[in-house]
């Protein structure tokens, strides 16, 4: 029951999301790096809500915490809260146009980043920078492409 068809392709997209998250980039692009992992997670939550759920998000969040060197659970809890809406409303979400989806994604990423900031602020006295919210915009711009590529990918490998 646990190992279903398409587990490996699914796994590969998570790895790609994680890799893109920590890939070194030139400084001027750094602040604009889209939140790849969140985009990948949102897509799979929306496309396969019966399969990708809170457990997956929790594990990916903890891996993010390790990669980012933050305190265990910061990214995990932010991603979990962010994941609630796409799972809850996946049917509505699927029927939106790409532009509408991009707007919703922007709001979701905003929620996630504000949560991460707030937790970091409580635990580590982080100071807010507006540049921390640039990825909200770049993620919304990247969303249609992520969506189309992942949809093609999903159909090609027949993941369901």
Partner 1 sequence: MKSLFERGPTLLTRLVLALSCALTLMFLDHRLNTMQPVRSFMSTLIAPVQYLAVLPEQVMDRIVYLATTRTMLRNENKLLKQELEELQMAVQRLNFLENENDRLRQLLGSDVREASRRMAAEVVAVATDPFSHQLVINKGLANGVYEGQPVLDNRGVVGQVMSVGRGTARVLLIADQSHAISLRAERNDIRVLAKGTGDLQQLELQFIPHSTDLEVGDKLVSSGLGGIYPEGYPVAEIISIDRNERLQYARVLARPYAQLDRVRTLLLLWPADATEQPVYDTEEETAGNDHVD
- Locate all alpha helices (DSSP H) within the chain, ordered by sequence: 7-22, 27-30, 36-47, 54-68, 74-88, 90-94, 98-124, 134-157
14 in Cβ contact with 36 (< 8 Å): no
Q: Rounded to the nearest whole angstrom, what is the least distance from the CB of residue 152 to partner 1 in the complex?
A: 20
Rank residues 84 and 157 by Cβ distance to partner 1 and give the closer one.
84
Q: Which two tokens stand for residue 125?
A: 């006295």
**Other Cβ atoms closer than 10 A to 158:** 9
Under DSSP, is residue 23 helix (H, G, I), strand (E, B) or coil? coil
Rank residues 15 and 141 by Cβ distance to partner 1 and give the closer one.
15
Q: Rounded to the nearest whole angstrom, what is the least distance from the CB of residue 99 to partner 1 in the complex?
A: 25
Q: Rounded to the nearest whole angstrom, what is the least distance from the CB of residue 100 to partner 1 in the complex?
A: 21
Rank residues 39 and 119 by Cβ distance to partner 1 and give the closer one.
119
Q: Which two tokens stand for residue 153?
A: 């990918």
Rank residues 99 and 160 by Cβ distance to partner 1 and give the closer one.
160
CA nearest neighbour of 48 among 2, 100, 3, 10: 10
Q: Rounded to the nearest whole angstrom, what is the least distance from the CB of residue 59 to partner 1 in the complex?
A: 10
Q: Rounded to the nearest whole angstrom, what is the least distance from the CB of residue 79 to partner 1 in the complex?
A: 9
What residues make contact with partner 1 under the rule CB under 8 A?
15, 18-27, 30-31, 33, 50, 53-55, 57-58, 61-63, 66-74, 76-77, 80-81, 83-84, 87-88, 116-117, 119-120, 123-127, 129, 131-132, 160
Rank residues 99 and 131 by Cβ distance to partner 1 and give the closer one.
131
CA nearest neighbour of 2 among 54, 57, 59, 51: 51
């Amino acid at each position: 029951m646990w190992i279903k068809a398409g587990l490996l392709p699914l796994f590969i997209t998570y790895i790609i999301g994680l890799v893109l998250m920590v890939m070194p980039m030139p400084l001027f692009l750094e602040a604009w790096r889209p939140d790849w992992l969140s985009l990948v997670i949102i897509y799979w939550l929306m496309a396969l809500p019966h399969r990708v759920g809170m457990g997956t998000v929790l594990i990916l969040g903890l891996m993010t915490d390790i990669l980012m060197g933050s305190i265990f659970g910061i990214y995990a809890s932010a991603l979990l809260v962010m994941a609630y809406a796409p799972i809850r409303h996946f049917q509505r979400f699927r029927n939106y146009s790409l532009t509408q989806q991009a707007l919703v994604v922007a709001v979701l990423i905003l929620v996630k980043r504000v949560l991460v900031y707030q937790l970091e602020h409580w635990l580590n006295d982080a100071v807010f920078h507006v540049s921390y919210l640039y990825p909200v915009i770049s993620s919304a711009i990247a969303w249609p492409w992520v969506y189309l590529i992942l949809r093609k990918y999903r159909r090609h490998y027949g993941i369901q």
